Structure 1
Amino acid sequence: MRTATINHTAIAYLDSAPGAGTDRVLLLLHGHAFDKSMWDRQVQHFGALGWRVLAPDLRGFGESEVTPGIVYTEEFAADAVGLLDALKVPSAVVLGYSMGGQVAMEIQHSHPERVRALAIVDTVPQAEDAAGRRRRNTTADRLVAEGMHAYASDVLGVMIAAYNVQAKPEVAAKVLEMIRRSPAAGSAAAMRGRASRRDFAETLAAVTVPALVIAGADDAFDGGAAARMHELMPHSTFVRIDGAGHTPSMEQPEAFNAALEEFLAKL
């Protein structure tokens, strides 16, 4: 684990090949209440294929410094770009999962020149409506008041497919532990910031780089969002992963890695 001070904040990150070249860089952005360890299988696989894999803990998560209160999607994106700057990486394949997918879309919106290709996994592009904003802010208040343990148990069966809680106990245990150790103040700050994120429809429609959309076949949060993103982006590929819910990179890592590997091979 390495640490860099980005935007006055200590950001922890994994670099699979420190000091290596910058022409084959894969930037992996985790989801809410997760951390960089969700990408262990991807770091190993794509590092072995010669990709320099960067996996930061977004601020407020994992081993990165917590900013209490509220952290906006734009701030997460600025941190990710700042990490690329610190490592002198001009552009990367940017892959974001769930909340990290919204961060990836924000990078595409604000710094498109840093995105060699865009991969979005199990996220939604639209802004929150009034009910969604209330729900996120209420959840943020709960996290601060109660901590992460009860919340982790409540959401486990939607963060991965309910059937995989039983079928893949090692995956369920890792997801549960990740969420439980997530700093409550950081998780709440991100939840509040997501409540006011922008709508990314115009951003996606303007994407000219190669793009990949991946969704678990049984993602409880999808509601057709993955198909809409694929339709919005003119140069995109859509892959649905069977036997997975919201977190296919952990539930079905072999199928997920194969889909991403095929996409990267065409760049």
Structure 2
Amino acid sequence: MGSVFHGDITVGYEDEGSGEALVLVHGHPFDRSMWHPQTEHFSRAGWRVIAPDLRGYGDSTAVPGTTPLAAFARDLAGLLDHLGIERCVLGGLSMGGQIVMECYRLFPERIRGLVFADTFASAETADGKAARYAMAERLLREGMDGYAHEVLAKMISPATIAARPDVAAHVLRMMTATPPEGAAAALRGRAERPDYTGLLSRVTVPALVVVGAEDAYTPVGDALDIHERVPDSRLTVIEQAAHMPNLEQPDTFNAALGAFLDALP
């Protein structure tokens, strides 16, 4: 575990293993611990795995207001600079996947492979913008607890909640520990994100697209859209998983990611 002062914030991160760099970006409203099964597995498999806390989450500084995806991307670039990493495989889940798209827009030369997990590429709709802004105000007003309990059964499948209470507890713990100011700032920034669908067709590195078969937030159709747009991509649909297949079915997720990494040039 480490931390680095970048610009006006402190960024917490995990840095495990050695070899080529694999950087994993968490979603909302989680933290870097969501990648623990991947950090543990791939750091033992010959990869240097970097899992940062985004600004406003985990051990990183919570900045109120609005956090555009470009700000998250610049934080990641600063962390790569600090760690002396010139190029990496970059992956993200949900909002993290959209941050990965923004990173590819800003500094594609630093990325040798992409992983898009349970995410989508289009800009927000008018209704979606309104909903994100309303949720930001709710979280500031009420805190994270009520929201976290409401969405738990969509973040992970009911079957996972029943069979793996440890995973349910972990997901709930991440959500309730997130500072409302950081979550609200990310929601506002995400509401104003650009449309990345055109960017995907210009991707020149290999990509892996992963999605839980039961994901209600980013359904399989969203993953299929990304897969069809990215020229050199492979798609994996993980059964018995919802929005967080890396935690719900870690062995299956790791197998798909491992096969993708092994096939990289």
Cα distance in 2 between the residues matched to 1:100 and 1:29: 5
Cα deviation, residue 119, structure 1: 0.5
What is the aligned counterpart of 2:172 among 172, 176, 186?
176
What is the aligned counterpart of 1:166 among 157, 162, 169?
162
Q: Which residue matches 1:211?
A: 207
Cα deviation, residue 79, structure 1: 0.5
1:252 maps onto 2:230 in alignment: no
Cα deviation, residue 77, structure 1: 0.6
What is the aligned counterpart of 2:46 among 46, 50, 53?
50
Q: Which residue matches 1:3?
A: 3
SS of 1:4 mapped into structure 2: strand
SS of 2:183 mapped into structure 1: helix
1:155 maps onto 2:151 in alignment: yes
Cα deviation, residue 163, structure 1: 2.4
Q: Which residue matches 1:124?
A: 120
What is the TM-score when the length of structure 1 is the normalising length?
0.97
Q: Cα deviation per residue 1:164-221 (whole Å; 9 max; x = unaligned)?
A: 2212211111100110001111011101100000110111110010000000011011
Q: Which residue matches 1:14?
A: 14
Cα deviation, residue 161, structure 1: 1.3
Matched residue type, 1:14: E
Q: Which residue matches 2:228?
A: 231
* RMSD of aligned Cα (Å): 0.9
SS of 2:192 mapped into structure 1: coil
Cα distance in 2 between the residues matched to 1:7 and 1:252: 37
Cα distance in 1 between the residues matched to 2:91 and 2:49: 11
Cα distance in 2 between the residues matched to 1:35 and 1:221: 18
Cα distance in 1 between the residues matched to 2:141 and 2:180: 9
What is the aligned counterpart of 2:90 among 83, 90, 94?
94
Matched residue type, 2:125: D
1:67 maps onto 2:57 in alignment: no
What is the TM-score when the length of structure 2 is the normalising length?
0.98
Cα deviation, residue 13, structure 1: 0.4
Cα distance in 2 between the residues matched to 1:204 and 1:253: 27
Q: After TM superposition, where is structure 1 displaced by more than 4 Å over at least 4 residues in a row?
A: none
Cα distance in 1 between the residues matched to 2:59 and 2:139: 18
Cα deviation, residue 152, structure 1: 0.5
Cα distance in 1 between the residues matched to 2:7 and 2:208: 29
Cα distance in 2 between the residues matched to 1:92 and 1:76: 17
Cα distance in 2 between the residues matched to 1:202 and 1:81: 23
Cα deviation, residue 222, structure 1: 2.1
Q: Which residue matches 1:113?
A: 109
Cα deviation, residue 39, structure 1: 0.8
Cα distance in 1 between the residues matched to 2:164 and 2:196: 34
Cα distance in 1 between the residues matched to 2:162 and 2:179: 27
Gaps of 5+ in 1: none
Q: Cα deviation per residue 1:122-145 (whole Å; 9 max; x = unaligned)?
A: 011101011000000000000000
Matched residue type, 1:67: V
What percent of counterpart residues are identical?
47
SS of 1:11 mapped into structure 2: strand
Matched residue type, 2:238: I
Cα deviation, residue 6, structure 1: 1.5
Gaps of 5+ in 2: none
What is the aligned counterpart of 1:142 among 138, 145, 166?
138
Q: Which residue matches 1:78?
A: 74
SS of 2:113 mapped into structure 1: strand
State the number of aligned residues: 263
SS of 1:237 mapped into structure 2: strand
